[in-house]
Amino acid sequence: MSKVVTLQEFIMEKQADFPFASGELSRLLYDIVFASKVVSRDVRKAGLVDHILGAQGNTNVQGEEQQKLDVVADEQFIHVFKNGAEVCGIASEENDDCVIFDDEKGRNGKYVVLFDPLDGSSNIDVNVSIGTIFSIYRRKSEVGTVAVEEDFLQPGHEQVAAGYVLYGSSTMLVYTTGRGVNGFTLDPSIGEFCLSHPNMKMPEIGRIYAMNEGNIHICNPGIKKYVEYCQSDENQTGKPYSGRYIGSLVADFHRNLIKGGIYIYPATTNDPNGKLRLMYECNPLAFIAEQAGGLASTGFERILSVQPEKLHQRVPYFVGSKLMVEKALSLLEKE
């Protein structure tokens, strides 16, 4: 019987890859692991506990109706980051501005974290998979001072770590520190994440495309051409692809990471700058995709090269298997 490797053991083993971090990055990852276990527990209780299911009654900065679990997850992650000693500030999809930790621990923190506490939260009430997405950067400002906006507005290629937690039939954490992608599944019997998907690689091509085709009439004509290509038997596999759109980005991305596929959320005439958030969703998943052999683009530019101008910046998004993304971009360019 092979030895079970826990996430904590795995992080400790890889700590030598980051001599500059002196253990801080490892401790920060432990904080994320702890918070994700708490959120996973709360997700499992949804429907049984009144105060965590349904709408909160407020809208967030994105103009979206907040779910109660959105707020619960957001507060839990902020709590662990503030109480740790590694983070000088956070930015969350649920908050208008970045949250600066200006106490002594915060001023001495070396990292900032940007995260979507509960991606796909509109699916909570119908029991569809949801998730947490996180992105970690080294601060640009001097350690010992209060964090500034420049610490958060860094391009995706500056990320030191990124990952997501999927709350589905099982709870799974997938992350990268720029040295490949590894996945861990929560074993509820021992309360530990265990290595279940080592060295994850995204197939160069798959047979799944994920897009809200209800918007196809307000997209660039190249998008329609690509969907027609997917549905024909003249594509790269010789058989029509399957359309699979869950509506939870983490769930759609995770399926394509394992099976191969492409996820498309393009610009439309209604949303010419795209709809997904660069800092909280696109950058971290693009980092994972590239580390697993995939691609991520706005349609015209590599996602990880985009210089952010504001915290809640939106961009069009094409992410997935390398050959599928390249084909979509070639048709988009022709139009």
pLDDT at 121: 78
pLDDT at 50: 52
Q: Is 1.10.8.80 the CATH number for 208-334?
A: no
* Tokens at 335, concatenated: 């139009």
pLDDT at 65: 60
Instruction: Assign 97 to helix, strand or coil.
Output: coil
Task: Report the distance separating Cα 86 and Cα 102, nearest Å.
Answer: 13
| CATH level 3 topology of 7-197 | Fructose-1,6-Bisphosphatase; Chain A, domain 1 (3.30.540)
pLDDT at 52: 47
pLDDT digits (tens, 9 = 90+) for 259-306: 999 999 999 999 999 999 999 999 999 999 999 999 999 999 999 999
| Mean pLDDT within 173-184 | 96
Numbered ranges of CATH 3.30.540.10 in the chain: 7-197
pLDDT digits (tens, 9 = 90+) for 13-70: 888 776 665 688 999 999 999 999 999 998 887 655 554 444 544 565 555 566 788 8
Q: Is the distance from CB of 231 to CB of 224 less than 8 angstroms? A: no
Backbone angles phi, psi at 74, to 5 degrees: -60, -45
Task: Report the distance separating Cα 231 and Cα 241, nearest Å.
Answer: 6
Amino acid at 137: Y
Q: Is the distance from CB of 230 to CB of 242 less than 8 angstroms? A: no
For 158-238, where are the E strands, in sequence order? 161-167, 171-176, 181-187, 192-197, 208-210
- Give the global pTM: 0.93
Between 87 and 56, the higher pLDDT residue: 87
pLDDT at 66: 67
Backbone angles phi, psi at 166, to 5 degrees: -105, 120
pLDDT digits (tens, 9 = 90+) for 207-240: 999 999 999 999 999 999 999 999 999 888 889 9
Binding residue ranges for substrate: 119-122, 212, 245, 275
Task: Report the distance separating Cα 187 and Cα 61, nearest Å.
Answer: 35
pLDDT at 16: 74
pLDDT at 132: 97
| Cα–Cα distances in angstroms (integers) from residue 240 to residues 206, 246, 256, 262, in the given order | 11, 19, 16, 14
pLDDT digits (tens, 9 = 90+) for 111-164: 999 999 999 877 877 888 999 999 999 999 999 999 999 999 999 999 999 999
Numbered ranges of CATH 3.40.190.80 in the chain: 208-334
Binding residue ranges: 93, 116, 118-122, 212, 245, 275, 281
pLDDT digits (tens, 9 = 90+) for 232-257: 998 888 899 999 999 999 999 999 99
Between 63 and 84, the higher pLDDT residue: 84
Binding residue ranges for Mg(2+): 93, 116, 118-119, 281
